[in-house]
Amino acid sequence: MPAIIDNRLDGRTWSYREIEDRSILAGKKLLTLGSRRGDRVAIIADNSAELLCCYLGAMRVGLVAVPINFKLPPSMIDFILKDSGATLAVTDKGHANLVPPGFVSVRLDDETFISRGDVYAGYESEEVFPEPGEIAEILYTSGSTGRPKGVPLSHDGQIWALSVHVQCDPLLAERTIVAAPMYHMNAIISLSVALMNGIRVILMPRFKARDWLQAIEKYQCTVIGGIPSMLAMAAQEVDLINKLNFSSVRRVSIGSAPLSEALIERIKAIFPNAMVSNGYGTTEAGPSVFGDHPNGRPRPPLSVGYPIDGIQWRLTRGTETEGVLEVKTPALLQGYWNLPEVTETKIREGWYDTGDIMRRDSDGFFFFVGRSDDMFVCGGENVFPGEIEKMIEKHPGVVQAAVVAVPDSIKGQVPIAFVVIKPGSRLSTEELKEFSLREGPAYSHPRAFVFVESVPVGSTHKVDKRPLMELAIEASRSAGRR
């Protein structure tokens, strides 16, 4: 039965046996190139079945996979190669030029890389059984707050993280689609869970909203997932949505970034037969933290779920029901790669400080409130940009909102909102201001609104607010703020 349908190659299918065989061959190939157990192998490529085989094959023979975000500037890629201590880089044709001159590299889209060619004749390698805590992969953060940080994750930790997603029976009739980049935990865990549960995967090289929507209909996907900005971008393709039939979709799982009630309603409108769920996880925690309620209670729309078995949690720097989430999990990293001083600030006595402010309701469900480092003070009041964005997105004429804080001589800091409106909407800034004052606290209403065609997103498809800061300051000045 097909495990993967490669959308790059017009539906070229890969069976479970083929992925298994090719992963073994990929691991052997890496060893023939001089890599030894514990060595780091960088992977720089678009999503593909070949990339998956290389990723799995590296770990199978005791190498450490280091998927690299190819959208980072060359200086950052060079930093990651040096910081990880990678001895080899595996690329595809489109990204071979990102490897610095003189660095040992090999092309995974070269047919000989994972073929049954003579290069493997007589070469044998024993299956590796990882030691407790042995590193399987190092995932690097996006670098939005400086240089990327390496997050080493162990074999046993990742096996535990996947074990909580095992279904009793393979869901043989299910089909999902993975378009998020495989250098990001969201894609890696989605792909791994799907394969583990017998869910057929339509694999896209990268996310493009129109291609993604068309593939969902073409392959009659039943389960889809992604991050909020991906769904928000897809929701803007109104002309295409009106032409396509998405009746096959039964589940939509969203994660990796805050989700608004307004976006949930738009997702339900696109996929009317689907149940929409909000998820949460961190790369550092491995990534599973929350799931369904143990007593079967329905998850509230914006809840990220109930703590899964094996997770220890606590809320700090707040109250019993709201504060910064700290967790202990069997999949937790032991420390950031080459950053002992950062490890000391984020991991204390085995507790990982997520930096995420959470609220817990009376049923034990958790809700994301905001980032502790994103909160700002406006006129003595604590303000969370995410809460303002959710409020603005309730307006029927708004597709998406992004809020940033700018300095203000009177209030300290004030929010400025960037808004994407629905095609054909005649929404005005005055109408949005009145709506914000009516729907939210007066102290947190945006002092200026800027209409934009789209909000900037980073290489992991999460909203990147850094390019908006200069525009926000200018908008604040134009609005008469000082």
Predicted pLDDT at 123: 47
Domain 376-478 annotated CATH 3.10.20.30: no
Q: Find all residues with CB under 8 Å of 462, minimum gap 6, and list them.
A: 142, 227, 229, 256, 257
Torsion angle (degrees, nearest 10) of CA 32, 34, 37, 40: -120
Torsion angle (degrees, nearest 10) of CA 199, 205, 209, 210: -90
Q: Order the strands of the 88-91 sheet from edge to edge.
A: 105-107, 88-91, 40-44, 64-67, 135-140, 150-154
Instruction: Retrieve residue 413's tokens.
Output: 């800091």
0.85 exceeded by pTM: no
pLDDT in tens, 179-213: 988 998 889 988 999 999 989 999 999 999 999 99
- Tell which residue, 331, 367, 413, 375, has the closest CA to residue 152: 331
Long-range contacts of residues 38-41, Cβ cutoff 8 Å, at least 24 apart: 38/62, 38/63, 38/64, 38/135, 39/63, 39/64, 39/86, 39/87, 39/88, 40/64, 40/66, 40/84, 40/85, 40/86, 40/87, 40/138, 41/65, 41/66, 41/86, 41/87, 41/88, 41/89, 41/90
- Phi, psi for 125 (deg, rounded to 5): -140, 135
- Tell which residue, 126, 145, 159, has the closest CA to residue 27: 126
Which residues make up the CATH 3.30.300.30 domain(s) of the chain? 376-478
Q: For the chain, state the CA radius of gyration.
A: 23
Which residues make up the CATH 3.40.50.980 domain(s) of the chain? 2-128
Beta bridge partners of 61: none
- Tell which residue, 259, 465, 290, 444, has the closest CA to residue 370: 259
Question: Cα 174–178–183 angle (5° rounding)?
Answer: 145
When pLDDT is cut at 50, 70 and 90, the band that residue 242 belongs to is very high
Query: What percent of the chain is predicted at pLDDT more than 90?
Result: 54
- Tell which residue, 231, 232, 228, 274, has the closest CA to residue 249: 274
When pLDDT is cut at 50, 70 and 90, the band that residue 482 belongs to is low
Q: Find all residues with CB under 8 Å of 202, minimum gap 6, and list them.
A: 4, 5, 7, 175, 176, 177, 178, 215, 219, 221
Predicted pLDDT at 142: 63
- DSSP type of residue 141: P
Q: Find all residues with CB under 8 Å of 252, minimum gap 6, and list them.
A: 223, 224, 225, 231, 267, 271, 274, 275, 276, 277
- The whole-angstrom separation of Cα 418 and Cα 468 is 8
- Tell which residue, 191, 139, 480, 204, has the closest CA to residue 336: 139
- Tell which residue, 277, 325, 329, has the closest CA to residue 156: 329
C-alpha distances (whole Å) from 431 to each of 104, 169, 283, 386 are: 58, 52, 40, 20
When pLDDT is cut at 50, 70 and 90, the band that residue 340 belongs to is very high
Peptide bond into 287 cis (omega under 30): yes
Beta strands in 232-364 (DSSP E): 251-254, 275-278, 290-291, 303-307, 312-316, 322-328, 347-348, 351-360
- The whole-angstrom separation of Cα 327 and Cα 34 is 39
Dmax of the chain from CA atoms?
Answer: 76
pLDDT in tens, 397-409: 998 999 998 888 6
Predicted pLDDT at 481: 58
Predicted pLDDT at 79: 93
| 61 vs 227, more confident | 61
Q: Is the pLDDT of residue 119 over 60?
A: no
SS3 471: helix
Q: Is the pLDDT of residue 146 over 80?
A: no
Query: What percent of the chain is predicted at pLDDT more than 70?
Result: 92
Mean local confidence (pLDDT), 134-162: 86
Q: Which CATH number fits domain 2-128: 3.40.50.980, 3.30.420.40, 3.40.50.970, 3.40.190.10?
A: 3.40.50.980
Count of alpha carbons within 13 angstroms of residue 152, beta-carbon side:
21
- Tell which residue, 432, 456, 445, 438, has the closest CA to residue 481: 445
Q: Is the pLDDT of residue 121 over 50?
A: no
